[in-house]
Chains A and B, each alone.
Chain A
Amino acid sequence: MYAWQVALDHIPLFLTGLRNTVLLLVVSTIIASVFAVPLALVLTRKMPVAAPIIEAVSYVFRGTPLIVQVYLLYYGLAQFAFIRTSVLWPWLREAWTCLLIAFSLGTCAYLVQILRGAIEAVPHGEVEAARAVGMTPFQTLRIVVLPNAFRRALPSYENEIIFLLHATAIASLVTVIDLVGAGRNFNTIYYFTYEGFAIAGVIYLAIVGVIRLSFGLLERRLLVHLRRAGI
Chain B
Amino acid sequence: MDVLADFLPIVLRGMLVTVVLSLSAMVLATAIGLVGAWARLAGSTPVKALALIYTVVVRGMPPLVLMLLIYFGGQTALNAAADAMQVEPIRIEPFTAGIVSVGIIFGAYLTETFRGAYLGIPQGEIEAGVAFGMPTLTLARLVVLPPLMRLALPSFWNIWLTLVKACALVSVIGLQDAVYAALSIGRSTREPFTFMLVVAALYLAYTGLSDLVFRRLGRHLARGTRAASV
Contacts and interface: CB of A to CB of B under 8 A. Distances in A.
Contact of B192 (A79, A168, A179): A79
Please tell me the size bucket of the interface on A: 35 or more
A201 B69 CA distance: 9
Among B64, B161, B197, the most chain A Cβ lie within 10 Å of the Cβ of: B64
A217 interface: no
B208 A63 contact: yes
Contacts of B165: 64-66
B157 interface: no
Q: Is the interface of B mostly helix, strand, loop or mixed?
A: helix
B73 A198 contact: yes
A197 B69 contact: yes
Nearest to A202: B61
B168 interface: yes
Interface stretch (A69-77, A128-136, A138-146, A219-227): A69-77
Interface string B163-198: 011111100100000010011001100111110110
Contacts of B169: 65, 67, 170
Contact of B168 (A67, A79, A183, A201): A67
B200 A64 contact: yes
B64 A170 contact: yes
B68 A197 contact: yes
Interface residues of B toward A: which range?
35 or more
B204 A79 contact: no
B207 interface: yes
B62 A72 contact: no
Contacts of B75: 193
A79 B199 CA distance: 16
B95 to A, nearest CB: 18
Interface of B: 57, 60-66, 68-69, 72-73, 75-76, 161, 164-169, 172, 179, 182-183, 186-187, 190-194, 196-197, 199-200, 203-204, 207-208
Interface of A: 60, 62-69, 71-72, 75-80, 165-170, 172-173, 179-180, 183, 193-194, 197-198, 200-201, 204-205, 208-209
Given A68-B203, A75-B196, A168-B62, 5 more contacts: A64-B165, A65-B179, A71-B179, A76-B192, A204-B62
